[in-house]
Amino acid sequence: MTKGSSQLFEIILIISLCFSLCTCGLEVYEENMLYAPRDSGYRAGEPDPSFRTFIFTTSEDYKDSYLEYPNNENVYLNFQGTKVFYRIYNSLTALNSDRYSIESVNAEFSSAGANRAITLGFKEISKFTPKTSKVSYFKVANSDKDKNVEIRVYPEAEYQVGFFLGKEPMCDYENNIIVPYRSLGSAQKDFNFFEDTDKNPKKEDEDVNFSENSDVTEGAWYIAAYAASYAINVSFNNVYSQLLDLGYIKIEE
């Protein structure tokens, strides 16, 4: 080895060693450090009305923080809160097929699961506010502490439909309970499907996966749901945590 080659080799070795020492112990994530919601009260078509709800606990960690990316740039994420995604099925085979597809990419500190769900047609669940008679997307807003959330999408027996924080219903300024609605653009429909025929899911509805599978039962629908923490990045795009699978609820005539 010539003297010049030897010196070049030594310089490369020193640079490599310095880089190794500087990055030792540095946690580098694929996309973000948003912690997913937790404590899913996973549902699987429960027959008992008292269990036909979606349940989870929000995760408020690492909000408004600078996060380390693979390119070593610090990217600011503005934590917004927690969203819930849903989709309506008439076939458990189709529902489980989508679940497997989502879980195949649903990784920690990554938006991949949420993006896959959105691609498959999952919609953000909406809310109807009686005071204003308006339908808008529902979210559990950013706060300083974790919250226990329960969502009952339709009324049955003695159980009230609505969004609940802990055991307290979310209400408007006139103390009317805010209730879950489907996300269908200008159409305003709740999840009480069999109250009248207009509310029944239809093949052409954007939030419906309508299947011809052999396991389809007339008068039965399944609502699958996921929860995710989310933030807005410097490009004003949504960034999501890993999805929390909330299971599915069966609604039948």
User: Residue 11, SS3?
Assistant: helix
Between 112-119 and 92-103, two packed helices, what is the crossing angle to 10 degrees?
A: 150
Calculate what percentage of the chain has a pLDDT beyond 70: 81
Predicted local confidence at residue 4, as pLDDT? 53
| Number of helices followed by number of strands (H, E) in the chain | 3, 17
Predicted local confidence at residue 9, as pLDDT? 45
Q: Is the separation of the CB atoms in 39 and 57 below 8 Å?
A: yes
The predicted model gives 1-22 an average pLDDT of: 46
The answer to which of 22-36, 128-142, 202-216 has the lowest mean pLDDT is: 22-36
69 Cβ contact list (under 8 Å, min separation 6): 28, 29, 31, 75
11 vs 196, more confident? 196
pTM over 0.85: no
The answer to which of 27-41, 120-134, 209-223 has the lowest mean pLDDT is: 27-41
